[in-house]
Structure 1
Amino acid sequence: MKKHNFNAGPSVLADEVIENAAKAVLDFNGSGLSLLSISHRSKDFDAVMAEADALFRELLHIPDNYKIFYIGGGASTMFYEVPANFLGKKAGYVNTGVWSKKAIKEAKRYGEVEILATSEDRNFTYIPKGFAIPSDLDYLHITSNNTIYGTEYHEDLTSPVPLIADMSSDILSRPVDVTKYAMIYGGAQKNLAPAGVVFAIIREDMLDKQVRDLPTMVSFRTHVENNSMFNTPPVFPIYVLKETLKWLKSIGGVEEIYRRNQEKAQLLYDEIDRNPLFRGTVEKQDRSLMNICFVMADGYEELAPEFLEYTKAHDIVGIKGHRLVGGFRASCYNALKKESVEVLVKCMRDFAEKYAK
């Protein structure tokens, strides 16, 4: 019996992606070798890298003056590599939660960090808007989707300085105007691949803005100039990433997955808003399509453990909220099927019929 996987990450991948990856682990491309033991410098894997690049460009409409590279690690690696490359005097950061705060902590090692806006005053339940962006910043950094709190930017910012975004948890879930960003990066383990690889999309002119002499592996120029092959890249996650991009193209691309994501989120948010046992936790205009957070309504808090057990009995996994906020979090990443959301909604309705006063 398949589970309804709402885990926040590593998260659900499309069935056909997992099936193709499993076949490749046994025999990659008819080579008689496992994907886990091929040379990353073989022609077969060169083709994987080239296809991933071409699909990424097609799906996100990435212009020619942007480069794509893949390196091992997670977005947390990028938290220090971004300022190491680009923070000379001062950078601006928007603080929208735990991951923003971690990025800010790392950036302070390299120069002055100005917090241009924060939503910490209301426990990160909204996205700050209308803040001033000084023109003397080396760059502005944002976290586009906040997995723990369930908030998300729904429009691309216009910035007078280079805009860098951590899009770990909403990449390819909605249309994005790449030209508004100097760099987009993220861990792949939400919408793209298993954990272990970071993708980066970087405007070429940023490679000339490196502000200090860096260890070879920390310099972004190293990975661009060597086509992600300066050292052995994470072969298996990159292959799965390529298969995920193929799957996304096959269903209609970013426009179609955005429609599906909106439909799934609306279904669940509507139930949260109408059900007397539950309430949402963030401002409605900033609700995330990817991570839908909610708690028991006032007077029903003691039912939370029982509801969690009730969902487990219906093959729902991964909806326990982060320890910092409690409650529940249903992560509805690209590959999560609408049917899984419908099962969760039915559980909420049935539970309310049993316990609503």
Structure 2
Amino acid sequence: MPKQYSYFCAGPAKLPDEVLRGLQAGLLQYRGTHVSMLELSHRSNDFKDMLVATENNVRNLLKVPSNYRVLLMAGGGNGQFAAVPLNLISRTGKADYIVTGSWSDKAAKEATKYGTIHRCEVDKTAEGWRTCTDPEASYVYYCENETVDGVEFQTVPEVPAGVPLVCDMSSNIFTRPFDISKFGLIYGGAQKNCGTAGVTLVIIREDLLGNPLPTCPSILDYTITNKHQSIFNTPPVFPMYVMSEVLQWVAKEGGVEEMSKRTTEKSNLLYSIIDHSSGFYATTVHPTKRSRMNVVFRVGSKEGNEELEKKFVEEATQQGLLSLKGHRSVGGIRASLYNAITMEEAERLGEFMKAFQRDNKA
């Protein structure tokens, strides 16, 4: 039997096998057009039809209300770190940022270029979330899942009445249902759960359009992007196509409700092994803040044993369990369990973890 390979990278992440096989056909010819999707004009009716279908899938899967606009943009999360304040901070000149890890920290630092930023720091090792309460803030911002730190919000933060809530859902959008009406804006890079790198999904309440800072570049202006139906410039055509195919797969598999069920089962499996390892595996994230998407842990002790962790990654790789090394800023091990990772793959990793502990517990 050929060796099985499972790709646990934090992003760009694994795509469903079924989607990859479909993309192969589109590389040579997209649906009878006689041209590759890599060549397809963004002004063609075929592309525009695909774009409409993608928006419809977004709206159906997430139950997006009619007063929200769906935008597809380039620039990834880092582009949105600037686009959010450039488009929204003009109301009062200040904003609140709930800082839970690396990505919300980067977003807050970028936003200081455009206004006054108040940081609400959250301790990942303790129970409870600190929220922001300034009624004069132009918006409150948070990152729902921190891929580096393994921290995820389980509920939506409370914010002052009338203050828009902005959320970076790059790493957990399309993994569970949520009420979009609680948000002014959400965004997510596609390369975790709904596509590949190169396109970013933005969903914005229409009353928040139309007031960018004068210095906002046109390419980051939500109002201009909305007016041009995400085709202000030549867009990332192929990544948009991949997103379209992945969202069709999510719908076929049972939607975000089914993705939520699978993700909970996968993450519970690994956290159970960690919690019952008598300290051989350890995570410093409080149980109420643990990420379903990125299981971050140390090997040997809470502080980690670098030699043992190196051995863990090497032996896992030999068994076809790929990209388990933790982020360079925190070390340790990280297993990313996005939608395309199957339960069988999570079980393979779990069996490896148990065997590695038996062989190295001394």
| TM-score interval, smaller chain | over 0.9
**How is 1:67-86 mapped onto 2 (pairs within 5 angstroms)?**
67-86=69-88
Residues 2/196 of structure 1: CA separation in 2 closer, same or farther (3 Å cut)? farther
**Paired amino acid for 1:200:** V
2:9 aligns with 7
Q: What displacement does 1:85 show?
A: 1.2
Q: Distance in 2 between matches of 1:74 and 1:215?
A: 15
Q: Does 1:149 align with 2:154?
A: no
Q: Distance in 2 between matches of 1:250 and 1:76?
A: 31
Aligned mates of 2:267, 2:220 — CA distance in 1:
38
Q: From 96, 99, 106, give the equivalent of 1:95.
A: 99
**5+ long unaligned stretches in structure 1:** none
Residue 292 of structure 1 corresponds to 295
TM-score in terms of structure 1 length: 0.95
Question: 1:241 Cα deviation (Å)?
Answer: 0.4
Measured after TM superposition, the shift of residue 157 of structure 1 is 2.3
CA, structure 1 residues 309+235, in 2 after alignment: closer, same or farther (shift >3 Å)?
same
Q: CA deviation at 1:209?
A: 3.5
Read off the aligned partner of 2:102 and give its amino acid letter: V
| Cα distance in 2 between the residues matched to 1:336 and 1:327 | 21
1:37, 1:260 → 2: CA distance? 36
Distance (Å, rounded) in 2 between the aligned partners of 1:354 and 1:58: 48
Deviation per residue, 1:169-204 (Å, 9 max, x gap): 011111111001100012111111111111100000
Within 2, Cα distance between the matches of 1:179 and 1:315? 42
2:169 matched residue in structure 1? 167
Whether the 8 Å contact between 1:91 and 1:137 is mirrored in structure 2 is yes
Per the TM alignment, residue 211 of structure 1 is displaced from its structure 2 partner at its CA by: 4.2
In the alignment, what sits opposite 2:284? 281
Alignment of 1:74-223 (within 5 A): 74-88=76-90, 89-115=93-119, 117-119=120-122, 122=123, 124-125=124-125, 129-159=129-159, 160=161, 161-212=163-214, 214-223=216-225
Measure how far apart 1:212 and its partner are.
Answer: 3.2
Contact preservation (8 Å) 1:127, 1:151: no
The answer to whether the Cα contact below 8 Å between 1:87 and 1:110 also exists between their aligned partners in 2 is yes
Residues in 2 aligned to 1:244 and 1:127: alpha-carbon distance in whole angstroms: 35
RMSD: 1.5
- Name the amino acid aligned to 2:95: A
SS class of match (2:148): coil
CA distance in 2, matches of 1:145, 1:111: 25
Q: Distance in 1 between matches of 2:301 and 2:44?
A: 60
Identity of aligned residues (%): 39
Mapped contact 1:127–1:152 kept (Cα < 8 A) = no
Counterparts of residues 20-31 of structure 1 (less than 5 Å) = 20-31=22-33
Equivalent pair of 1:127/1:153 in contact (CA under 8 Å): no
Matched with 2:314 is 309
Unaligned runs of 5+ in 2: none
Deviation at 1:210, TM superposition (A): 2.8
User: 1:331: Cα distance to partner?
Assistant: 0.3
Are 1:156 and 1:177, in contact at CA under 8 Å, matched by a contact in 2? no
Match of 1:25, SS state, is helix
Alignment match, 2:54: 52
**In structure 1, which of residues 228, 245, 250 is the aligned counterpart of residue 247 of structure 2?**
245
Residues 68 and 199 of structure 1 are in contact (CA less than 8 Å); yes or no, is this contact kept in structure 2? yes
- Provide the C-alpha distance between the structure 2 equivalents of 1:177 and 1:128, rounded to a whole number of angstroms: 21
The Cα shift of 1:219 comes to: 1.3
Does the CA contact (< 8 Å) of 1:140 and 1:162 recur in 2?
yes
Deviation at 1:130, TM superposition (A): 4.6
Whichever residue aligns with residue 13 of structure 2, its letter is: S
Amino acid at match of 2:255: G
C-alpha displacement at 1:2, in angstroms? 4.4
Q: Secondary structure at the match of 1:309?
A: helix
- CA distance, structure 2, for counterparts of residue 143 and residue 258 of structure 1: 18
Measured at CA, do residues 126 and 40 of structure 1 come closer, stay the same or move farther in structure 2, by a change above 3 Å?
farther
Q: How many residues align?
A: 353
DSSP-derived class of the 2:210 partner: helix
Q: Could you tell me how far 1:146 is from its partner in structure 2?
A: 0.2
Determine helix, strand or coil for the equivalent of 2:38.
helix
Indicate the SS of the match to 1:69: strand
Scaled by the length of structure 2, what TM-score is found?
Answer: 0.94
